[in-house]
Amino acid sequence: QAPFAYEDRPLPIGHGQTISQPYMVAIMTELLETKKEHRVLEIGTGSGYQAAVLSPLVTEVFTIEIVEPLGREARARLKNIGYKNIDVRIGDGYLGWPEKAPFDRIIVTAGADHIPMPLVEQLVPGGRMVIPVGPHWQTQILKLIVKGTRGPRDFRASDVMPVIFVPLVREKKPD
């Protein structure tokens, strides 16, 4: 993929996953409206690129990747480059990271077919989440979620733009 590294388009990173085009990373990062004191949860570590972009903007980045080889590679890559405020976890991002919650901001870098309530519940009141929502492998809507103050599931959702992201993968439940 090296010949395409500077093109503004998504690229495959293995295991059926992609790295988002740089323009989309910029839009999603801007929508978060981060502050230096923020703690951010990212769902879908992938290569670690989005976490690396967020790292200098906030206090801490917690990132979850369900594809174990990608998570291990990203953890090693980010550590080798010298990022010290990024914590990589391998697991089901749909469930968030309750032990580290609440978060000021959440960014989801895979398309969900609905807004995951565990993530909304892990936002601070007034917190923001950016997430693509819609059917898998079809046009989705990038949404901005702003957490309300009337309880753990109180939020307002705004449509930002049409997008297409790889599906948000869930852990398979035993039968």
Task: Collect all residues with Cβ–Cβ distance below 8 Å to 79 and sequence separation of at least 6.
Answer: none
Amino acid type, 168? L
Q: Is 97 helix (H, G, I), strand (E, B) or coil?
A: coil
Cβ neighbours, 10 Å, residue 43: 26
CA distances from 69 to 13, 32, 138, 167 (A): 11, 28, 26, 17
Instruction: Give the separation between CA 74 and CA 168, rounded to whole angstroms.
Output: 18
Cβ neighbours, 10 Å, residue 109: 28
What's the length of the chain? 175
> How large is the greatest C-alpha to C-alpha distance in the chain, in angstroms?
50
Known active-site residue 55: no
Q: Is 71 helix (H, G, I), strand (E, B) or coil?
A: helix
Instruction: Give the separation between CA 28 and CA 100, rounded to whole angstroms.
Output: 22
For the annotated catalytic residues, the residue numbers are 20
